[in-house]
Structure 1
């Protein structure tokens, strides 16, 4: 993979940073910077020019968060973030969207985001969509990943549907060769899961047959994390190599 990438990530809540891919990016001498939207004052409008110049970013990673992409009234920076995303994506640069991040990319491009019929929380299997084009990102036929969401995205115009499961139809999509949107959390590692599980208020809003108990999640075997982590590393390599022909 291309080395010395200028990687920028959008972080929406404290504790949910770049996750497992930090080690992979640093192996390739990436320069990593961040915009921490959660630290911005809600009573002061965000100027889009306060965000990085598109020309200064080689790879964008958009993290998850508790808020809805539709909640611009309570999180006014969402509108500016989506404007910046449209500007960035129009340049054909690589981007990875994780959970809320995948929803934000879809919504910025005109696709709806709404309540999923089922909430998902915990380890679940997602399936590769049959007969996807051969030149798309190559997923395993099945993979175990971490889910943590109540809402889901519609596929943005022109996207290829890559993955699904019984609880949520749209689990992953691809736009062109440079954008991959995930509904799940491939970046999760043991430390970040512990932070998630410490948020009792967040846990209390989840229920249903696709919600795993916190005491079970606290016993998650180490090997559970590696499948998603490896998938994310491959996804980063894919969008970077396809964009920069390296």
Structure 2
């Protein structure tokens, strides 16, 4: 079987800093690595065959430019330091573009962290600051039956870096998992959208730098910083999530 070429547009909702920026350039670079690793994982279980990825990146914070739907097969919304519930002009443009995507049925939608929350907002459910504080570093997500099926795992260990939440399940969405701090850890509509609150694209180096930077800035106290650092090098399932994203696009 010949797998199709997947044209994936990554909407960059922020830019990395420090060593992460030096290594990857943009979050588009980080997600390209995730998707390529996911494609390799798919090939391991598909007689060496993997999809051809045609990935483009779009800086939607600083440039009011979005891909034309006829030119792409999927859109991936990245994470961000910004608040998904704010009304900055670029965020409102992103919400409107996401609503356009949700109204059609060919181009599929992937959301990660901030992107997951933007999709929740576009589906008209509450997105706001959580009341249980930050969720950081490698965290165990309790998967639903659908989550286990999509990710091929009994439980999901994934990097987290958020304190904002999608507060409820949008109508028609299948839940993928939850944690003690966040009920809505992933959303799914077959052949339409898949999201995760965690960061499958992150690794120990990326999260260590974020923890250190936010500790230095006084955002994280000593307890939170030390707790996050104690888990930052634990094994995580980011590549499995990347493979699940691609299976979703091929389904």
TM-score of the superposed pair, with normalisation by structure 1:
0.79
How many residue pairs match? The answer is 225
Taking a change above 3 Å as real, the CA distance of residues 80 and 115 of structure 1, as seen in their structure-2 partners, is same
Matches within 5 A, 1:58-137: 58-72=73-87, 75-92=88-105, 93-118=107-132, 119-129=134-144, 132=146, 137=150
The residue aligned with 1:160 is 174
Give how far 1:25 is off. Answer: 5.3
For residue 158 of structure 1, report the CA deviation from its aligned partner: 0.8
For structure 1, the residue ranges without an aligned partner over 5 or more in a row are 41-45
Equivalent residue for 1:237?
Answer: 246
Mean alpha-carbon deviation: is it higher for 192-201 or for 29-38? 192-201
Q: Is the 8 A contact 2:37 2:242 kept in 1?
A: no
Query: After the TM superposition, which of the residue ranges 94-103 and 175-184 deviates more from structure 2?
Result: 175-184
CA deviation vs aligned residue, 1:82-131 (integer Å, no higher than 9, x gap):
111111222222221001111111111211101222220111111112x5
Q: Cα 1:10–1:199, aligned 2, differ >3 Å: closer, same or farther?
A: farther
Secondary structure of 1:173's aligned partner? strand
Alignment of 1:185 with 2:199, yes or no, is yes
Aligned residues of 1:69 and 1:113 also touching (Cα < 8 A): yes
Q: Which runs of 5+ in 2 are unaligned?
A: 17-26, 41-49
> What is the deviation of 1:189?
2.5
Paired residues of 2:113 and 2:199 also in contact (CA < 8 A): yes
- Spell out, residue by residue over 1:187-243, the C-alpha distance to the aligned partner (whole angstroms, 9 max, x if none): 21344335434533787324698775454356x15xx14x22222212x2232122x
* TM-score, structure 2 as length reference: 0.77
